[in-house]
Every structure is written in C-alpha cells, then in structure tokens.
A and B are shown apart, each in its own frame.
Chain A
Amino acid sequence: MSMRQLWEGTDARPWAREINGRTKLIVLFLYAILMITIDNPRSLFILFMLTLLLHLAAGTSFYKWKVMAVLLMLGLWGSMVSQALFFSQIPRTPLFVLISLDTPVLGAVTGGLFIYREGILYGAVQGLRAATMLSLGLLVCWTSDPRQLLNALLAWHLPPQVAFMLVTAIRFLPVLAAETGEIITALQLRSDTQRGRTAIIQHIPYIAKPLLARCLRRAQTLALSVVSRGFFSAKVSQVRQSWRTLEKAGCFAFCLFTLAVVGSKICYVLSEQGFYFGMFRKLYDISKLYL
C-alpha cells in the first residue's frame, strides 16, 4: 500500500462508508466530551477498545492497523513516560530511582529523578484519552469521503466556504502523504552526508516549505474547480445524502448517554464540594466506580 492509499477512505467496508457524515461527526464530538469527562482508567480503556472494535468491523486494512498501532503506541508511551518522570502532584510514590539525590552534581542539579507510580497512571489516562480520539479520528478519516463530511457540515448550515476549508484538509491527506514521501526522497538525494541519505528525522524541518507551496497551488486550483461546478451556490437540501432514522435514533441515544454521563459527573464533583443529596447516592457510587 502506498503512502497515498494509506490516507484514503475508499477501502473500508460499505456499511462504514455509507454512514452519514453527520452521524460520524456527532459520534466524534460526543466521544470527545466523554473523554474529557471520564477519569476512570477502566472506562477509558473500554471506550478505547470500542474504537478498535469499530476499526475491526469497518475492515481497516492490515497496513493501516500497523500505522495506527505505531501512532497509538508512541502517544501512549510518550505520555506515560513523561508523566512518570515529571509527575508533580502529591502524593506520589517512587517506583524506581534513576538519579539519586546523593549522585554528585546530577543529583543536586536535577533534584533526583524518579519513576512515579501515580505518574504512570496519570500518563496512561491522558494517553488513553489521546489514543481514543486518534483512533476514532482515523476511523472517520478512513471511512469517509470528504464530500460526505462536507455535506454534513452544509446540512448544519455552516457557510459553504467554511465547510470547504474544513474538509479540504481530508481531501488532501492522501496527496500530502505521497508528497511528503517524495520530499523526504528529495532531501535524501540532496543530502551531503551518508547519514543524511538514510535519516528521515533530520530532514523534517525542511519538509514544510515545498509542501506548503504545493498546497497553496493545489488549494487554489481545487477552489476554482469546485466554484465552477457550482459548489458555493449548491441547493443543499435536495441532494445531500439522506440521514437514516436508525442513525438519527443512534445519535440521539448516544447524545442522551453522554448527557447522563456528564450530568452524573457534575453531580459527583458537586458532592465532593459539599453539595450532597442523599437521593443521588446511587449516582455518586456509579460515578465514583466508572467515571
């Protein structure tokens, strides 16, 4: 699979592609609210696993799984390591000592370097939040035609110009990915050292300029192309993909669920601040256990 194909949304199973853009965007939005609201690692993990199950059901290709795995692992690992090292809240329990306070010079300079148990947990929670949204975002990207998302935004009466700008990025993802690969090749070719021939990371600062210049040209042509095909004067309501009742009901139910989660979390936080109501005891228990 080429870099370009990696970012395309046309190889997913038909059911995933046919879901209305509005449903996808609503689920993405509500999921984001849940990720902010929930602190419980188990619940976060379940929600994260749910996104992976959705990938499985949507038929995400093996190559895309591999790419996603790398991104997720990097995100999770980075978050956990950084929090484990630099967790500053109290209480904190050191699991390992990397640099002891007694170490000459370094000990005094760093104030000691430890791996904190609470930091790992906190990092895992933060990492899970980011990983879940990354996984779901990729799912939307890999199962959607840009037009589908555009139609969704237009159906919500967003100005066509704004909707077009928001969605163009997804349209260009496959092309940008391919061109990034070509620029890296160009940088390798123009490199003056043997290391530069193989290294990719050292070339990253130089990728932006040619890529942006091309993007500007492309965006201009694409805008001209869609304008002359009547996009900005489109008769929105008649043609846009229909939003099935089942999807609407699903979105409504998910919306209610999210509201319930947010509501119970607010109640629980208020109870901790002294606004305690006995009739909500069960709710407080659920919130404490799962949220």
Chain B
Amino acid sequence: MLHIDDVSYRYESRDAWTLKHVSLRMEQGEMVLLAGRSGCGKSTLIKIISGLVSEDGHGTLEGRIILDGQDITRWSPEQIGLLAGTVYQSPDDQLFAMTVEDETGFALENQGMDSEQIRREVAETLRRVGLAGYEKSSIHQLSGGQRQRLALASILITKPRQLILDEPVSQMNPQGVQSFMELLLDLNRNENISILMIEHRVNELARYFKRLAVMKDGELLYDGDIEQAWPFLTDKQDLGLREPQTVKLGRELHLSELTSDSEKALSLICRECEIERQAGKAAVFSPEGSPLVRAEGVRFRYPGVKEDTLHGLDFVLLEGQITALMGFNGAGKSTLLNMLGGLTDPTGGRLLLDGIPVRKALGQVGYLLQESDLMLLADTVTEELSWKNPEMTPEKTEAMLERLHLTEYAQDFPLALSKGQRLRVVLGAMLAKEPRLLLLDEPTTGQDETSLSEIRKLLLDFRNKGGSVFICTHDIELASRIADRVILLEQGRILADGPADVVLSDRNLLLQSGLTVPVVLDISEKLGIPPCVSEKEVIRYVHAAAVGRD
C-alpha cells in the first residue's frame, strides 16, 4: 500500500512550491495512471516516492510517504528501492551493464547475493518479462520495447511491491505499448504488484487503468475512477491529456455519459443520437497541387546487405498536401525519409524535386529528425531560429517566435525548454528556411495534447501556404486529423497509397501494416455508416439532436 499524505515540496532554488499538499492513497494491487502537463510536478512526486528528493537534498519537504505501512519519507533510495522500483522514460539512460544477464542481476549483486542464486533469479525474472533466451545478448541488440522490458526486469528482480513508471511507453509504437501494458497487467494480476504510471497518452492507456489521477501546477486536480474523469475534464483542455476517441466523440455528440468503453459509447450513440446512414461523404481527396517530388522506381540497398530495403517505389508528392507515411518498424520508412532529406542517394531509380535530384535541392527540404533535441545547436531560441539562415531578419524572427508562441522564451537556452517547446523551436527553425518540402519523423513522440495541437496548427498553416509535408508516424489519430493522403509501406514496398480517410478506414490494410485499428472505425462499422477514422467524420452521419439526453 502506498499513501502519499499531504506532501508538499519546494526546490531550494525556487520560491514557489513544486508540489502543494498532494495526497494519494493506493491499495496493494491497484493500478493508477497519473497524468498532467510537463512541469506539473509529476516527476518531482516520483522522485520523492523513490527517496531521490528529500530534505537532505537541499529542498523543503513536508508531509509523509507511507509504503507497506512504513514511513519512508526519510529513507534512503537504496532502502526504498527494495520496496518500490522505478522505471524511467528512456531505457537507454537507465541500463548500466552491457548484457541482459548482467543488467538484470545488478541489484542482487549489490545486495551481495551468491552468484549461482543470482543466475537462477535472473533466468526466472527474464522469463517473467518475456526475455528468456536473451541472457547473453548485448543490450544494444534489443529493440526499444525489449530494452524497456529489460529495465523492468532489472527492477522486478528485487521483488518490489510497488512499481513506479515514468512515461515508459512514450517512445513505443502501438504494438510495443500494447505488449508492454499486457506484461504490466499480468504482473499486477498474478503477483499483486501495485503500479503507478505517469503518461500523457491517456487515449491509449485508459483501457488498462481503472483509476486516473491528474495533476496541475503541483496540485492533484482529480483522483478517482477513470470513467468519472471525462466529464470533469471537459472544460480543462489545458491539461494536455490525450483523451480516448470515444470520449471526444461523446463530447462532440453531447452524449449523456462520456466513456472510454467503445461498446458503451456505441450503445449510447444508438440510444441518444440520430444516425443518417445516407449522408454524403466528405469530398474525396483529389490531387490538385502541382507535383513537387517524383519518385521513379526508387530502390535502396544498405552496403553489405543482400536484399534491397526499398523495392522500386513510385509516387508523386504534391504541393499543398500533407502525406503520412506509415507502416511496421523496419518497413523502410526512415530510409525513404533520409533519401528525401538528401542524406543518402537511391541505389536505383530517381528521386527528383522539381526535376532535380533531391540531394541537390539545397534549402528546399526541411527535415525534422525523431530525436529533435539533437538538432538544437544555439544558445538562445532567437539564435536557433536564425542559425545558418541569412534570410532571417529580426522582424522575421519576431514573427516566427509569435507563430510558435515562444516570444517570452526568445532569450532562453533551447535545451532548457519543455519537450513540446523544444520541438516547436526546431520546427520553427525548419519553417524559417521556407522549405518547399517538410519531412517529419515521428514528431508526436512524448508530446502532450496541447503541444500536439500547436504542431498540427503549424503544419496545416504550412500546407495551406502551398508547402508539402511528408510525415512518418505511427499515430493514426494524428494522421487522420491532418493528412490528406496516406502511404502504407510494407517491407520496402508500397502497400497502399490514397486519400487518408480511405486508407485509414481499411481494417485489413491497417492490420497488415502493423497499425492499430481506431476505436471510431469499429463504432462506425457497427453503426452501419461508412467507415470513419476520426470523430469529426462520425459526426457527419451521427447527429446530437436526439432523444433521451439531458
């Protein structure tokens, strides 16, 4: 049992309290999802529970933390580590050893356990997390999801009663999230381990948790049943939570109850709304812009590899169009992006931008890497926006800062900003060069809803001014909201290429490409209306003006 009892915390260097009278009680075996915008105090709370921030650590801590009936407020992290294990966002940062076996046994080694016993415990723990057989593997040979499982294993080996997870799935694709969450559910059910998880992606995780806690400005704003949270959150969009599609749909349709359960949402819609099955479909995508990029039989093979990664791709990217590139990990998406970004040349075929090879189209392509932080090079935001950009006058910089909502941070060190702000700075630096083609690699990773909405606005604005956007993403919700067109890639071949609403509403195509089927698609199929992937599409056929509502 974990009891956070009226905890407040103030860092020595700050005047304001980072945490203000936070109280939260978790029973043994309970799973709680803790959400809130960046900087709301979630990470500080986790540090306090883990014993990493205490009065000895130059801050002021008030209140008590009770774990397993013991007051651990002043315990050392080592002592707490035996009762509560913490898993962080990036597995790369928390793994210390080079092999799976060594990493898993690290905590037991520190306890002075006999090496034979450690070996047995390691084997058993790796079996529990689905990594049996990887004992001798290098940690760098594992996929991102496997590394996060390893991080979990290295904690589980000490048999903690409480798990604390700080955005552990923020960098995973939908399959990775599902698999990791199923593992956590198993641990919770079979071993009665309590789980406290911090995450923005409430939309994807709501079905795994019964309880939601929401923080804002160091205070616990909501703590209770997850299904009861949605009405409470209706007028609090500034919290940055990504809500489930069914909740957003319910809100659009003014349903009497907001729910993340698709079956329940379906029955509410049937009961309370008018369904117009014959309503006209939205205008079908028609390529209107002039061709910007032309790929003709584009092939690529990595040196020393026997097979092509890309097998003769043919497509045309138009001006004034947003194209989403989706597909399984390893389908060749990043390879294609790198070629479009001019970093590598095709080993066969042609890739032309306005008739010239993309590699020579300097300044016409902006490419935002997935690890966008690594693109921040200057000392201030202003400097960053004008870095290697002689066209950027002070007036233009000011206008760009305003567009990015970063005016008040103009002189701040870019790497010290929040995750969403950092991404906007890099995106701003790209846009400042006025490229004709903008490439983005998984821009939504780890971003909260507020930040996503800002990014969407910037991209739509760029598209409306005639720019072409090519975005590589696993996020179907994002793709359905902004993309005009979707290209699905499978093992280096184009599986589908067409209007976003057509491609994304094809269940078979989505499954074949390793994407998750949006809940709204299920609902639309069951309602007997044309397939829809976003709540905006559903409301074309389903109207709120119905009986039985409050």
Among residues of A, the one whose C-beta sits closest to the C-beta of B372 is A186
A235 within 8 A of partner (CB): yes
Set B94, B375, B389, B429: member contacting A222, Cβ < 8 A: B94
In contact, B343 and A230 (Cβ under 8 angstroms): no
Among residues of B, the one whose C-beta sits closest to the C-beta of A203 is B377
Q: How far is the CB of A262 from chain B (nearest CB, A)?
A: 35
Beta-carbon contacts under 8 Å, A211-245 to B = 213-214, 217-218, 221-222, 224-240
A282 within 8 A of partner (CB): no
Q: Report A-chain residues with C-beta under 8 Å of the C-beta of B371.
A: 179, 182
A193 within 8 A of partner (CB): yes
Q: How far is the CA of A222 from the CA of B154 in the complex (A)?
A: 13
Q: How far is the CA of A196 from the CA of B359 in the complex (A)?
A: 12
Q: How far is the CA of A209 from the CA of B113 in the complex (A)?
A: 41
In contact, A197 and B112 (Cβ under 8 angstroms): no
In contact, A230 and B98 (Cβ under 8 angstroms): no
Set A4, A226, A233: member contacting B96, Cβ < 8 A: A226
In contact, A221 and B110 (Cβ under 8 angstroms): no
Q: How far is the CB of A46 from chain B (nearest CB, A)?
A: 32
Q: How far is the CB of A35 from chain B (nearest CB, A)?
A: 28
B118 within 8 A of partner (CB): yes
Set A209, A213, A235: member contacting B112, Cβ < 8 A: A235
B39 within 8 A of partner (CB): no
Q: How far is the CB of A161 from chain B (nearest CB, A)?
A: 13
In contact, B52 and A224 (Cβ under 8 angstroms): yes
Beta-carbon contacts under 8 Å, B405-441 to A = 415, 429
Q: Report A-chain residues with C-beta under 8 Å of the C-beta of B102.
A: 145, 147
Q: How many residues from A make CB contacts under 8 Å with B?
A: 53
Beta-carbon contacts under 8 Å, B78-116 to A = 78, 80-82, 85-86, 88, 90, 92-99, 102, 106-115
In contact, B387 and A197 (Cβ under 8 angstroms): no
B323 within 8 A of partner (CB): no
Q: How far is the CB of B56 from chain A (nearest CB, A)?
A: 13
* A183 and B374 contact, Cβ closer than 8 Å, known pairs A146-B98, A227-B78: yes
Q: How far is the CA of A155 from the CA of B429 in the complex (A)?
A: 51
In contact, B96 and A213 (Cβ under 8 angstroms): no
Q: How far is the CB of A141 from chain B (nearest CB, A)?
A: 11
In contact, B97 and A145 (Cβ under 8 angstroms): yes
Interface centre among A146, A227, A230 (most CB of B within 10 A): A230
In contact, B429 and A225 (Cβ under 8 angstroms): no
Among residues of B, the one whose C-beta sits closest to the C-beta of A168 is B96
Q: How far is the CA of A223 from the CA of B426 in the complex (A)?
A: 29
Q: How far is the CA of A191 from the CA of B363 in the complex (A)?
A: 9
Q: How far is the CB of B482 from chain A (nearest CB, A)?
A: 22
In contact, B373 and A189 (Cβ under 8 angstroms): no
Q: How far is the CB of A3 from chain B (nearest CB, A)?
A: 11
Q: How far is the CB of B454 from chain A (nearest CB, A)?
A: 21
In contact, B92 and A206 (Cβ under 8 angstroms): no
B158 within 8 A of partner (CB): yes
Beta-carbon contacts under 8 Å, A179-210 to B = 179, 182-183, 185-194, 196-197, 206, 209-210
Q: Report B-chain residues with C-beta under 8 Å of the C-beta of A227.
A: 52, 77-78, 81
Q: How far is the CA of A174 from the CA of B97 in the complex (A)?
A: 12
Q: How far is the CA of A252 from the CA of B149 in the complex (A)?
A: 43
Q: Report B-chain residues with C-beta under 8 Å of the C-beta of A230.
A: 78, 81-82, 107, 110-111
Among residues of B, the one whose C-beta sits closest to the C-beta of A192 is B388
A175 within 8 A of partner (CB): yes
B547 within 8 A of partner (CB): no
Q: How far is the CA of A38 from the CA of B347 in the complex (A)?
A: 52
Beta-carbon contacts under 8 Å, B344-376 to A = 359-360, 362-363, 366-367, 369, 371, 373-376
Q: Report B-chain residues with C-beta under 8 Å of the C-beta of A10.
A: 98-99, 138
In contact, B110 and A229 (Cβ under 8 angstroms): yes
B312 within 8 A of partner (CB): no
Among residues of A, the one whose C-beta sits closest to the C-beta of B92 is A175
Q: How far is the CA of A279 from the CA of B296 in the complex (A)?
A: 85
Q: Report A-chain residues with C-beta under 8 Å of the C-beta of B473.
A: none
In contact, A234 and B373 (Cβ under 8 angstroms): no
In contact, B369 and A239 (Cβ under 8 angstroms): no
Q: How far is the CB of A66 from chain B (nearest CB, A)?
A: 13
Q: How far is the CA of A231 from the CA of B110 in the complex (A)?
A: 6
In contact, A233 and B429 (Cβ under 8 angstroms): no
Q: Report A-chain residues with C-beta under 8 Å of the C-beta of B41.
A: none
Q: How far is the CA of A193 from the CA of B78 in the complex (A)?
A: 53
Q: Report B-chain residues with C-beta under 8 Å of the C-beta of A118.
A: none
* A210 and B388 contact, Cβ closer than 8 Å, known pairs A147-B96, A188-B343, A225-B94: no
Among residues of A, the one whose C-beta sits closest to the C-beta of B109 is A239
Beta-carbon contacts under 8 Å, B148-191 to A = 154-155, 158
* A210 and B415 contact, Cβ closer than 8 Å, known pairs A192-B363, A192-B389: yes
**20 CB-based A-B contacts, threshold 8 Å:** A4-B140, A8-B98, A10-B98, A147-B106, A175-B92, A179-B374, A187-B377, A192-B362, A192-B389, A194-B360, A210-B377, A225-B88, A225-B94, A227-B52, A228-B50, A229-B81, A229-B107, A230-B110, A230-B111, A235-B110
Give B contacts to A, CB under 8 Å.
Answer: 47, 50-52, 76-78, 80-82, 85-86, 88, 90, 92-99, 102, 106-115, 118, 138, 140, 154-155, 158, 341-343, 359-360, 362-363, 366-367, 369, 371, 373-377, 387-390, 415, 429
Give A contacts to B, CB under 8 Å.
Answer: 4-5, 8-11, 145-147, 171, 174-175, 179, 182-183, 185-194, 196-197, 206, 209-210, 213-214, 217-218, 221-222, 224-240
* Other 4 A-B pairs with CB < 8 A, given A190-B429, A221-B88, A229-B110: A10-B99, A238-B114, A239-B108, A239-B110
